[in-house]
Chains A and B, each alone.
Chain A
Amino acid sequence: MSVDAKTVRRIAHLARIAVTDEEVGPLQGELNAILAFVEQLDAVDVAGVEPMTSVTPMAMKRRADVVTDGGRAQEVVANAPETEDHYFLVPKVVE
């Protein structure tokens, strides 16, 4: 399996990472090197094998439905590039 330039651009868009025209070629080469490397897995017989969903067998613990945190809006927005009144500010999302 290998990717062409168009696919590289599509993946970059899915990942929300801008790529310049100059970057596409080298990225395509690097991604294809990795994909060639993992191709060996196609030959493995995985019939009847479950995918691993839990690393260490355990039941998920649940917590009591009580409020244990909050009222720290100032801390929550402290690292934001742009805020106002404890809101995060972003460019317009909906036209």
Chain B
Amino acid sequence: MTALNELTLAEARDGLTAKTFSAREIAQAHVEALEKARVLNAYIRETPERALAMAEVSDARIAKGEARPLEGLPLGIKDLFCTHGVVTTAGSRMLETFEPHYESAVSANLWRDGAVMLGKLNLDEFAMGSSNETSAYGDVVSPWRRTGSEAGIVPGGSSGGSAAAVAAHLCLGATATDTGGSIRQPAAFTGTVGIKPTYGRCSRWGTVAFASSLDQAGPIARTVRDTAILLASMAGHDPRDTTSVDRPVPDFEAAVSRGVKGLTIGIPREYRVDGMAPEIQSLWDRGAEWLRAAGATVRDISLPNTRHALAAYYIVAPAEASSNLARYDGVRYGLRVPGKDIAGMYENTRAAGFGREVKRRIMIGTYVLSAGYYDAYYVRAQKIRTLIKRDFEAAYADGVDAILTPATPTAAFGIGEKASADPVEMYLNDVFTVTVNMAGLPGISVPAGLDGQGLPLGLQLIGRPFDEETLFAASQVIEDAAGRTKLPPAWWA
């Protein structure tokens, strides 16, 4: 008998509908699992009373035949989404006691659909990081370990808590955000599925901002179907976010079983980077084979400006961050550290409230936007962004339906392994994912195999604007061919 927290989200939904178990029972199973897994540090804040209260409401609705799409399903929420009455920290000291008096659009949609909240998930501070090692609330430990080793492995970042919790069966699914890869990279590192939808698909209202032209919310879950179910609830137009698109939300779950017959999949030659591990190359080739076997045409394409994407991202994203994080000044909310005058208060507050990585990015952003440098850096990077987007538009206009690439250049690394003085080394983790944010396109990461040390590897599919459906269809083909990931047994319990 599978433990209730080890079901997939779709299986749990079926079980609740069939009244095999109650919402209270599945919530309780998760609450107990969370208690035993604190060593992973996936949750910054557990909300068991709230979870059980919400489960009770769900049970009443199920009994009356009034179940909503996510009725009674326990989820974790990345601590970047404002949750009404529950402290929201963004992984920072700056917001240690910040209790929102409103609910983010994305989490509000989940509660509207009957989901149950287990707690707030850990993340890199202000979503800046690729390993969940910059959180003010401690590192997240991946449930995965290298074969024969007990050394701690990173879950990826910034949505490290979300990915670790899903992989460790501490929630049926989780919300996450992605600015340069923060959904897809941790999903790839933990053998889970993560999708960053098209820019504008989900509302950013009530989500703590990092880089406004790059940020997007999306789900992480254990299967392609589960991810599709969650995205359908999370997405939708919101008049409070002018960048959210007024388009109907498709039936993503229905798209999952479409198959890929007749589709054309592009393989971009510029993604074959120097020094790429042979394992990654063979995983990529295998993925192309699986899609071919399922009836897709696979062909080489060129995205020549891809090679500039990471550098351009590390101008645009910090620039936008420096603007968005200017609001943390100790005046209206968050930490305040006194100073000899108001300027001193600002400087002391921000020095104490922000960690090193955040300060670094704010400062780079401030520099590239400053007088004398704005044209040379920021404007140039935004022009390169136009070129990056054009490459994709040309490929899609030429008949490509989706693009297949590796999700990450390596499997997950050890905690502390990349603590060198060179920040760029950590940034290279995002080399395959940032292009997608720069072009505003949808991208999904799906588990495709394990590396020689038993750690998961993922493949990424990049789609046309607003065509998440093709991504779900193609990634289901990969999931079927690769087989469901065998997630690690609970060594921490």
A residues at B contact (CB < 8 Å): 1, 3, 7-8, 11-19, 26-27, 29-31, 33-35, 37-38, 40-42, 44, 46, 49-53, 55-56, 58, 60-61, 63, 72, 75-82, 88, 90-93
Contact = CB atoms under 8 A, between A and B. Distances in A.
Given A14-B366, A41-B384, A55 B242 contact: no
A9 B345 CA distance: 17
B198 A56 contact: yes
Interface string B238-273: 010011011000000000000000000000000000
A12 B363 contact: yes
B379 interface: yes
Contacts of B346: 16
A49 B388 CA distance: 11
Residue among A7, A13, A27, A41 with the most chain B CB within 10 A?
A41
Contacts of B99: 78-79
A15 B338 CA distance: 17
A80 B245 contact: no
Contacts of B383: 46, 49-52
Interface of B is mostly: helix
A79 B427 CA distance: 34
Contacts of A56: 198-200, 243, 245, 440, 465
B274 interface: no
25 contacts: A7-B367, A8-B363, A11-B370, A13-B347, A14-B366, A17-B351, A17-B354, A30-B421, A35-B364, A37-B311, A37-B427, A40-B308, A41-B308, A46-B387, A49-B387, A50-B383, A55-B243, A58-B245, A61-B239, A76-B101, A78-B101, A79-B334, A80-B331, A90-B331, A91-B339
Interface in B198-244: 198-200, 213, 239, 242-243
Contacts of A42: 380
B389 to A, nearest CB: 7
B93 to A, nearest CB: 14
Interface of B: 97-99, 101, 198-200, 213, 239, 242-243, 245-246, 305, 308, 311-312, 314-315, 322, 326, 329-336, 338-339, 341-348, 350-351, 354, 359-360, 362-364, 366-367, 370, 376-377, 379-387, 389, 421-424, 427, 440, 465
A58 B246 CA distance: 10
A28 to B, nearest CB: 10
Contacts of B427: 37
Contacts of B377: 38
Given A30-B421, A49-B386, A92-B342, A16 B350 contact: yes
A83 B308 CA distance: 48
Contacts of B97: 79
A49 to B, nearest CB: 4
Nearest to A43: B308
Nearest to A49: B383
Given A17-B351, A78-B99, A34 B331 contact: no
B421 A55 contact: no
A5 to B, nearest CB: 13
A90 B311 CA distance: 39
Given A40-B308, A41-B311, A52-B386, A80 B332 contact: yes
A33 B389 contact: no
B477 to A, nearest CB: 27
Nearest to B336: A81
